[in-house]
Structure 1
Amino acid sequence: MGSASQPHAVRGTLVHCQRDPDTAGASQGLVVHEDGLLVAADGHIVDVGPFEAVQDRLGQDIPIIDHRGCLIVPGFVDTHIHYAQTDMIASYGEQLLTWLERYTFPAEAAFADRAVAEDTAAFFIDELLRNGTTSALVLGTVHAHSAEAIFAEAARHGMRLAAGKVLMDRNAPAALCDHRDEGMARTRDLIERWHGYDRLSYAITPRFAPACSATQLTAAGALAAAYPDTYIHTHLAENHDEIAWVAALFPESRSYFDVYDRAGLVRERAVFAHCLHMDDVDRRRMTEAGAVAVNCPTSNMFLGSGLFDFGAAHRHGTTVGLATDVGAGTSFSMLTTATAAYQTAQLTGQTLSPARMLYLATLAGAEALDVADRIGRLMPGYEADFVVLDPAATPLMARRARHASDIAARLFMTFVLGDDRSVLETWVAGQRRHRRAPTHPHAHTANLRNR
């Protein structure tokens, strides 16, 4: 794999979004180099463009990895995922509140054992990379060492990742509840130790309003004010029964969202998963505050929670991220997740273009995490997180690819039919962290300078 300081050049069809195709127009938002070359050194992209032009600027001793026929896209960004729920993915039945009681809390209780956290973190990070995800916003459990384990594993791979220990002080098993002051003290300690270390960031993580007292939420808001460049990460308006419960627990608040707002938890870098059942008042306030809504389409359908309204988010100018939400989400693959988002849009009388599907899986996530100046595009100066996608990864894909006449058709086909088998390589900060045995005939490493 080499070190991050060793230059690499990768050839293939380079595709990224320079802005949201819905606002810029697909032709303005999407950048394509059909035969492109990307050069990475010291963890960053140093040159990118048409092969012939970049080749002329390339040093003589830099090898070219040839992936002609493959798509090279920015690394995928998963903006909401529970690593502690890895072992309970695809658990049968139930809607949100019963599902938490039956499956989630028992799974998270096992993380009292640090060895469980460390073992799961190692598997989880490998699974992200195998699916082309290079950045993520991750929930741990109430145990402080759950955050330590995922941070340590992400740092070992050089990933850009944000995470936090969960805060809960009621309506959960006693073993999963924080003492009021202890939870804040542990969170502050984790922020001091991990936030800003390498490519890591801390996320202050109240699980959701029903599991947090007003006192705990207010304390979390005060901590967020003391550390304004941390993230706030929680759930919002996922399920009708959940929303009714919040109304009963917080009768002084006009809405579920208002509970968080009153506690000082609505600001830039506040990331709210689901956001399915919201009114215009809350949507406007979310946008004004610079907070983020995250669409979790496979989990929303799996738990029967509802369908995300892209149109409402667009009308209000809300920043939207895309997320797998494992373990209620049914796949680690952002290809599968973007396809589910497309299907959600179809069911609500809307549509997502292939360019916007790519945007949601890459640049939109970078914007949601406020790091779009560092990741999400294939541009000089950006961190060298990128994925090589094989459009011929399966026999069906290879057959369908022969009839995909333009980049939009090739992108769409790769999203709809693709999964982890489509991810040929995953590069993080200029290092290849995952490689699948290639199926494409041109996939090889060679110095092509004289060809």
Structure 2
Amino acid sequence: MSSPAKAYRASILHSLGDPAVVGIEQSYEYFEDGILLVEDGRVVKVGHAADLLDKLKGIEIVEYHDALITPGFIDTHIHYPQTGMIASYGEQLLDWLNTYTFPTEQQFADKAHAADVAGIFLKELLRNGTTTALVFGSVHKQSVDAFFEASEALNLRMIAGKVLMDRNAPDYLTDTAESGYADSKELIKRWHGKGRLHYAVTPRFAPTSTPDQLELAGKLYHEFPDLYMHTHLSENLKEIDWVKALFPERTGYLDVYDHYKLIGARSVFAHGVHLCDDECKRLGETGSAVAFCPTSNLFLGSGLFNLNKLEQHGVRVGLGTDVGAGTSFSQLQSLNEAYKVMQLQGNKLDPFKSLYLATLGSANALYLDDKIGNFASGKDADFIVLDYKATPLIDYRMQQAKSLEEKLFALTILGDDRAVKETFAAGQSVHRRD
């Protein structure tokens, strides 16, 4: 269905490349008074208002004052069934799964419950300016149906999959190698490539899948074009020891996934906090990606993510909230914590690198940078309007800012859902702050 051209006027900022590769000054494009022209759900053009206004005769122009338009944020790792257990107290990873996660996910056997939570989850993402996410469902195939139905209704670009888990979990949450394969294949045929939806083969993590299940997951990953693979890797030291005990014949955690042909393009490994150089090298040479989830890693005491080390090995890195272990749906808050993680390791996270991680960098990690992540002509018109007056403190801080860099950094430290004035998906407003 076509939609008429429409223009949006405000300050506009988007990433052009990775600052670590092209340098800070070449990594972004900024228009103090800019125009974003959108038609049929796609970007037509972005530029200075002075250069474009005369060419917009008869086109509606929506103006935002004291605001910054950026591409929509992209979340490369999040669990929608865990929405209701965010901010659960006091455990590290393995105990946290047993105490909170598994009982919560049991409820998703009920399709109506899954649909209710999917609606709440998507509303939270959009309130926080996230327009694309790589999403865990539960072990129940109806949880994925509910999520995709809600995403399709909003015409969102989303990636999700049914969890595969046939051991080391409660009986009420396990499938079998064969049923997990069959259910996933059914969901792939129903949803993968439908509208803006994509499917991810989703073994929870190596300890909860038997070798038979991992083998079938690897088969499935290569059976259909452009599928994703989404799982966890080296988040917690006790988890790593457990993997070694379960797979003594393998040389390490990543080698388990490698053996079962689960690494490569569009494979995304969440966390990767405790990776050795050889594992980083292997991830880089296979085109795999790692999701940096700072709020979760700090909240569960998992450790500090070494962004520089992964990038030195050419690993694609995206930004993830990891809700519900993560503490906020906001990618601004993820960047707040990412800055601190880097500081604790004696490194800096430049504001323009932060913008890249939350937008074009995460799109690159998901092999979607030809479709989303910046305002290149022809890309999906997924964008957000950030409010420089969102709170009294942000307003006051912006009055003191002497540069775009200062403003951007202040937004990542002080901003949250309140800073998101409006969110657009494929050119349509899908959230407007009251």
TM surpasses 0.5: yes
User: Of 150, 160, 167, which aligns to 1:163?
Assistant: 160
In the aligned structure 2, how far is the partner of 1:259 from the partner of 1:179?
19
Q: Which residue of 1 aligns with 2:421?
A: 424
CA distance in 1, matches of 2:166, 2:110: 20
1:177-196 equivalences under 5 Å are 177-196=174-193
Q: Distance in 1 between matches of 2:108 and 2:241?
A: 30
Q: Distance in 1 between matches of 2:394 and 2:179?
A: 52
C-alpha RMSD of matched pairs (Å): 0.9
Q: Secondary structure at the match of 1:261?
A: helix
Letter in 1 for 2:43: I
Match of 2:217 among 216, 220, 225: 220
Among candidates 255, 260, 278, match of residue 257 of structure 2: 260
- The one-letter amino acid paired with 1:30 is Y
Q: Which residue of 2 aligns with 1:149?
A: 146
Q: What corresponds to 2:129 in structure 1?
A: 132
In structure 1, the residue corresponding to 2:311 is in which secondary structure?
helix
Correspondence for 1:448: none
1:21 counterpart letter in structure 2? P
Tell me, what secondary structure is at the counterpart of 1:77?
Answer: strand
Q: Is the 8 A contact 1:4 1:431 kept in 2?
A: no
Aligned residue for 1:402, secondary structure, equals helix
- The answer for the alignment partner of 1:29 in structure 2 is 27
Aligned residues: percent identity? Answer: 51
Deviation (angstroms), 1:215: 0.9
Residue by residue over 1:258-307, the C-alpha shift from the partner in whole angstroms, topping out at 9 and shown as x without a partner, is 00000110111000000011111111111110000110000000000001
What's the offset of the Cα at 1:25?
0.9
Q: Write the distance in 2 (CA, Å) between the matches of 1:321 and 1:193.
A: 27
Give me the TM-score of the superposition, normalised by structure 1.
0.95
In the superposition, the TM-score normalised over structure 2's length comes to 0.99
C-alpha distance after superposition, 1:357-390 (max 9, x if no partner): 1111101111011010110011221110000000
Paired residues of 1:46 and 1:381 also in contact (CA < 8 A): yes
Choose from 331, 336, 340 the match for 2:333: 336
Does the CA contact (< 8 Å) of 2:176 and 2:213 recur in 1? no
Taking the aligned partners of 2:388 and 2:252, their CA distance within structure 1 comes to 45
Contact 1:14 1:33 in 2 (8 A): yes
Q: Which residue of 1 aligns with 2:400?
A: 403
Distance 1:4 1:153 in 2: 21
**Among 300, 306, 314, which residue is 1:309 paired with?**
306
Match of 1:50 in 2: 48
Deviations 1:86-125 (A, max 9, x none): 0000000000000000000000001111111000001111
- Deviation digits for residues 191-242 of structure 1 (CA, Å, limit 9, x no counterpart): 1110000000000000000000011001100111112410000000000000
Kindly indicate whether the alpha-carbon contact (under 8 Å) linking 2:181 and 2:217 is maintained by their aligned counterparts in 1: yes
1:164-192 CA-partner distances (Å, limit 9, x unpaired)? 00000000000110122111000001111
My pick for the range that moved more, 128-137 or 62-71, is: 62-71
* Count of residue correspondences: 434
Counterpart position of 1:207: 204
User: Could you tell me which amino acid in structure 1 is paired with residue 411 of structure 2?
Assistant: T
1:102 is aligned, of 86, 99, 104, to: 99
Is the Cα–Cα contact under 8 Å of residues 131 and 157 in structure 2 kept in the other structure? yes
Runs (4 or more) in structure 1 with deviation over 2 Å come to none
Matched, 1:300 2:297: yes
1:226 alignment partner, SS class: coil
What residue identity is the alignment partner of 2:227? Answer: T
2: distance between equivalents of 1:44 and 1:10?
13
Residues 428-437 or 251-260, more deviating: 428-437
Quick check: 1:35–1:68 contact (8 Å CA) kept in 2?
Answer: no
Residues in 2 aligned to 1:47 and 1:279: alpha-carbon distance in whole angstroms:
43
* 3-state SS, counterpart of residue 387 of structure 1: strand
Distance in 1, matches of 2:200 and 2:145, equals: 13
**Gaps in structure 1 of 5+ consecutive residues:** 438-451
Distance 1:185 1:395 in 2: 53
The alpha-carbon deviation at position 11 of structure 1 amounts to 0.5
Separation in 2 of the partners of 1:19 and 1:4? Answer: 31
Q: Distance in 2 between matches of 1:310 and 1:66?
A: 38
Partner of 1:242: 239
The CA distance in 1 between the partners of 2:52 and 2:337, in whole Å, is 37
- Residue 41 of structure 1 is matched in structure 2 by 39
Report the AA paired with residue 187 of structure 2. Answer: L
CA contact (8 A) 2:335 2:354 kept: yes
Instruction: String of CA shifts for 1:320-378, please: whole Å, max 9, x gaps.
Output: 00000000000000000011111110011111100001111101111011010110011
Is the Cα–Cα contact under 8 Å of residues 4 and 429 in structure 1 kept in the other structure?
Answer: no
Cα deviation per residue 1:390-421 (whole Å; 9 max; x = unaligned)?
A: 02100001100001111111111111100000
State the shift of 1:61 in Å: 2.3
- Measure the CA separation in 2 of the matches of 1:260 and 1:212: 11
Distance 2:61 2:311 in 1: 41
1:370 aligned counterpart, secondary structure:
coil
The alignment status of 1:365 with 2:362, answered yes or no, reads: yes
Equivalent residue, structure 2, for 1:68: 65
- What is the Cα deviation at residue 4 of structure 1? 6.0
Residue of structure 2 equivalent to 1:446: none
Q: 2:342 and 2:4 mapped to 1: Cα distance?
A: 43
SS in 1 for 2:63: strand
Question: Are 1:4 and 1:430, in contact at CA under 8 Å, matched by a contact in 2?
Answer: no
> Which deviates the most, 4-13 or 173-182?
4-13
Give runs of aligned pairs for residues 7-18 of structure 1, distance below 5 A. Answer: 7-18=5-16
Alignment match, 1:6: 4
> Separation in 1 of the partners of 2:371 and 2:54?
26
DSSP-derived class of the 2:222 partner: helix
The answer as to whether partners of 2:67 and 2:385 remain within 8 angstroms in 1 is yes
* Aligned partner letter, 2:409: F
SS in 2 for 1:14: strand
Aligned AA for 2:234? Answer: A
In the aligned structure 2, how far is the partner of 1:315 from the partner of 1:80? 22
Match of residue 291 from structure 1: 288
**Which residue of structure 2 aligns with residue 382 of structure 1?**
379
The unaligned stretches of length 5 or more in structure 2 are: none
